A and B are shown apart, each in its own frame.
Chain A
Amino acid sequence: MALPIWLFILASVIKSAIVLGVLLTAVAYTVWLERKVVGHMQNRWGPTRVGPFGLLQPAADGLKFLFKEDLTPPHVYKPLFIAAPLIAVIFALTSISVIPFGNSVMIAGYSIPLQITDVNTGLLLILGVTSIGVYGVALAGWSSNNKYSLLGGLRASAQMVSYEIALGLSLVGVLIMSGSFSLRDIVQAQQGHFWGFIPRWNIFHGQFIGFFCYLMAAYAETNRIPFDLPEAETELVAGYHTEYSAMKFAMFFMAEYANMITVACLATLLFFGGWNGPLFGPPLLQALLPVFWFGAKIFAFLFLYIWVRGTLPRFRYDQLMAFGWKFLLPLALVNLIATAIAVAW
């Protein structure tokens, strides 16, 4: 039964509020997780003082960001200097809106999908929104009127535009196999098992190279180590956000972590079967388990992100570009052709 329009709007607003709340909490606790895990990897404790296991550290950080002085250096181009962090964080948070978290639930006879909106070009929408997000970083670098910021901004835009091609191509293999741009359909195409026990996820379905390309390109798109050239602190002070302080800096920070989560969500949906997983127990547990599986897979990805950050050094800029254009792009193309041939067979 379709919802009447006012109920639809109400449901959308409620879903947006819930998703945004969960996402921002997840962002805060990804930061905590990163500090904790990297700390242990480097034989330190990480945050321990605020709350048990330092669990209240994100709240303390947030308060600190709020109360810090919001400096605007002279000679910056003010309209864009203020707009840049907003652009970064708004588009980072927008892209979560087409991500499905589970099947539909029935509330009072209406079927409500666990997703803010189900567009049938959902994947393209995410790519579009992330490609607009580049402007936040680029404009921040330019408007700061600082050579380090400018270099960081230029690097960021060049890197993100270059790796977006490999990222897009690596996803085409999955699209060919599922025959839809809708993330919900892509997940539903991955239900079932091979030989009764190996899940029918795309990664076990010949898309391993595609996943590899996606993962590499995703690290570059989110400006994370080993591809964090735009903010390479050993050469560029802090890159594009050198001149930012207080909440404006926090917005870039939030944007980066929100992008990490979006990338992890996409990887889960496209290559690891989304919310598919073993279901058992009473009906209530069966309803909650898909969301749990989805969350667990995302957590695994975020952990991998942090693990890589704690392991690898930074690439040189020419290595980054050579890797993207001469290795990743051809590899993604080969994967695309191989998948097309295999499906046409």
Chain B
Amino acid sequence: MSVHLILFLAFGAICVAGAVNLLAQTHPINSALSLIAVMAALAGEYLLLGAEFVAAVQVIVYAGAIMVLFVFTIMLLNAGVEERTKGSRVAVLFGIPGMLLGSILVGWVVLRHSGTEAVAAGALPGDPKVIGQLLFHEFLLPFEITSVLILIAIMGAVVLASKPPTAPARKVD
């Protein structure tokens, strides 16, 4: 077994374990931290594929910035332990076997009939230069449209967060 395969399996195991733990935990902060572990493990997988830039950005943007805001919100709201119900019987009877069946089916189709080979370790063009070329030459229009979309979202958030115009507050003597 090569070092790459061992690392791949290790990161994959962390990833799946984190995802399961995310669902199993009752406290929101534990769930958020499991999600961070999932993100970090995914970054490790990207690194194994040779996509260094994507791995670094995955850590900075997802594990670093977005999840900090999640944790921040949980801390600010001081969200408590969530209540647990027994869960619906339909989910247990049909949902879980259905999910298993579905994932086996998808895996079988992808492995047998899509005709794609497994990606070799370090095979992806991970060089920041290549990604920059792709983003700013070939996919320039989608990239710019996405940035406008994000700008709209930011403006929406600012409008929602700013106070509605009300009568000026009375001075307190």
- Chain A residues close to B by CB (< 8 Å): 77, 80, 119-121, 124-125, 127-129, 131-132, 134-135, 138-139, 141-142, 150, 153-154, 157-158, 160-161, 164, 181
Contact assessment for B64 and A134 in the assembled complex, using a CB-CB cutoff below 8 Å: yes
CB distance from A241 to the nearest CB of B (A): 16
Contact assessment for B52 and A121 in the assembled complex, using a CB-CB cutoff below 8 Å: yes
Number of interface residues of B (CB under 8 A): 24
Query: Which label, helix, strand, loop or mixed, suits the secondary structure of the B interface?
Result: helix
Contact assessment for B56 and A132 in the assembled complex, using a CB-CB cutoff below 8 Å: no
Q: Which residues in A have their C-beta under 8 angstroms from that of B55?
A: 121
CB distance from A90 to the nearest CB of B (A): 13
Query: Which label, helix, strand, loop or mixed, suits the secondary structure of the A interface?
Result: helix
Given contacts A119-B52, A120-B52, A124-B57, contact A157 B71 (CB under 8 A): yes
16 pairs, A vs B, C-beta closer than 8 Å: A77-B29, A120-B128, A121-B52, A121-B128, A125-B59, A127-B60, A128-B59, A128-B60, A129-B59, A132-B36, A134-B64, A150-B75, A153-B75, A161-B65, A161-B68, A181-B53
B76 at the interface (CB under 8 A from A): yes
B14 at the interface (CB under 8 A from A): no
Q: Which residues in A have their C-beta under 8 angstroms from that of B72?
A: 138, 154, 157-158, 161
Q: Which residues in B have their C-beta under 8 angstroms from that of A161?
A: 65, 68-69, 72
Q: Which residues in A have their C-beta under 8 angstroms from that of B52?
A: 119-121
Q: Mark B7-26, 1 if CB is under 8 A from A, else 0.
A: 00000000000000000000
Q: Which residues in B have their C-beta under 8 angstroms from that of A142?
A: 29, 71, 74-75
- Chain B residues close to A by CB (< 8 Å): 29, 33, 36, 40, 43, 52-53, 55-57, 59-60, 63-65, 68-69, 71-72, 74-76, 127-128
CB distance from A175 to the nearest CB of B (A): 9
Contact assessment for B75 and A120 in the assembled complex, using a CB-CB cutoff below 8 Å: no
8 nearest A-B residue pairs (beta carbon): A131-B64, A124-B56, A128-B59, A121-B52, A128-B60, A142-B75, A121-B56, A128-B56
